[in-house]
């Protein structure tokens, strides 16, 4: 469910555009952030009432790339770009831009949403734990041998000292 209804968004936009009120006044009256109000106004100016309707959707990799390239070409902010392309959240555009800059345009074609299968992680964990377990077993065996050697050495030293005491 959307946090704000279409009617409420439209009322805020009308409050600013038709009644010539400031965004600061709208923020106080409606309890909405200035950034959110800016987004609604820009979206309304670009797409009308349809743009204010809540929507969830998936976007193709080509669309994401074109959005980011348009944003860079026209030197727009993430908010302005989201309003231009009617993307509900500007943070989505920020995420796409980060991926585009860090990993390249091809990374935007990969769908990273949803849960990753736990089977793969469990197999890796088992492999790692098997290797670790084998290493630990080998270390324990080495330490036991070392401990036995030191005990025997200590016993021999004590026996030698005992025999030296008896001969005196």
User: 3-class SS at 19?
Assistant: coil
pLDDT digits (tens, 9 = 90+) for 115-147: 655 555 566 666 667 788 888 899 999 999 999
3-state percent helix, strand, coil for the chain, nearest multiple of 5? 75, 0, 25
Average pLDDT, the chain: 83
**Does the pTM of the predicted model rise above 0.85?**
no
- 1 has pLDDT over 50: no
| 153 — pLDDT class (breaks 50, 70, 90) | very high
Average pLDDT value for residue range 26-55: 81
Average pLDDT value for residue range 103-124: 70
């Amino acid at each position: 469910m959307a946090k704000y209804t279409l009617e409420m968004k439209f009322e805020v936009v009308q409050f600013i555009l038709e009644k010539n009120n400031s965004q600061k006044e709208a923020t106080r009256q409606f309890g909405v952030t200035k950034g959110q109000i800016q987004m609604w106004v820009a979206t309304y100016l670009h797409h009308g009432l349809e743009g204010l309707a809540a929507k969830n959707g998936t976007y193709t990799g080509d669309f994401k790339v074109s959005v980011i390239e348009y944003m860079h070409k026209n030197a727009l902010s993430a908010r302005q770009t989201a309003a231009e392309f009617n993307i509900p959240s500007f943070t989505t555009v920020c995420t796409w831009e980060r991926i585009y800059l860090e990993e390249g345009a091809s990374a935007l074609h990969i769908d990273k949403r949803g849960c990753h299968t736990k089977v793969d992680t469990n197999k890796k964990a088992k492999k790692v734990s098997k290797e670790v377990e084998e290493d630990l077993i080998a270390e324990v065996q080495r330490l036991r041998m070392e401990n036995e050697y030191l005990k025997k050495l200590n016993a021999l030293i004590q026996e030698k000292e005992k025999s030296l005491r008896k001969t005196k």
